[in-house]
Amino acid sequence: MVASPKSVMAVEESDDRQPAQSPAQGKDRLRLWIRLLRVSRLIEAELRERLKAEFDTTLPRFDVMAALYRSPEGMLMSDLSRFLLVSNGNITGIVDRLVADGFVVRAQREGDRRTSIVSLTGAGSAAFAAMAAAHEGWVNAALAGVSQDEARQLAGFMKAFRSNWETGV
């Protein structure tokens, strides 16, 4: 994580990078991926369980509401699917259920009858605010062993990785 050459943190392209196929390095990267996935699953399971127990909701619903909370002007279905990295059809079902529960509305958009603007209702916004506060507490508890410095460094790494990914692909 420390800034170093041949790093994803160094955004510029460097040609002296060792080939990804180098056996030892390959194993290190594979190990990293497996562990990253495990950590992410552990935390996700914890959050899912608490959302269910304390708010009787699910992680995907929370994610959709979080996205809408950030965008008071509303979002298109395709905005949601792009932002949350899930398929279009997936969003349809989650939004349907949120609408049925009165947390979300689809508003007609004049000029384009294919699309509708999805946004939180008052009830949805209030419900999300309560959940978000609890959620932040759970994440902090889950990451209690991570120092502030580490958290910042790792977050920087993840950000660099992602922008690297998105420009690279």
129 is an interface residue for a second copy by CB under 8 A: no
Q: How far is the CB of 149 from DNA (least distance, A)?
A: 32
Reference 60, options 29, 97, 20, 31; nearest CA is: 97
Q: Show the tokens assigned to 145.
A: 């062993």
Four-point Cα dihedral 136, 162, 76, 50, nearest 10:
-30
Neighbours of 147 (CB within 10 A): 10
Q: How far is the CB of 27 from DNA (least distance, A)?
A: 25
Q: How far is the CB of 114 from DNA (least distance, A)?
A: 4
Nearer to DNA, 84 or 160 (CB): 84
| Interface positions with DNA (CB under 7 A) | 45, 48-49, 52, 58-61, 76-79, 85-97, 106, 111-116
Q: How far apart are CA 18 and CA 157, in angstroms?
A: 20
Nearer to DNA, 9 or 106 (CB): 106
Rounded (5°) CA angle 15-166-18: 25
DSSP for residue 106: E
Select from DNA, a second copy, none the partner in contact with residue 129, using the beta carbon and a kind-dependent cut-off of 5 to 8 Å: none
Q: How far is the CB of 71 from a second copy (least distance, A)?
A: 16
Instruction: Name 113's Cβ contacts closer than 8 Å, sequence gap at least 6.
Output: none
Binding site for a second copy (CB under 8 A): 1-2, 4-9, 17-18, 20-22, 24-26, 28-33, 35-45, 85, 136-137, 139-155, 157-159, 161-162, 164-165, 168
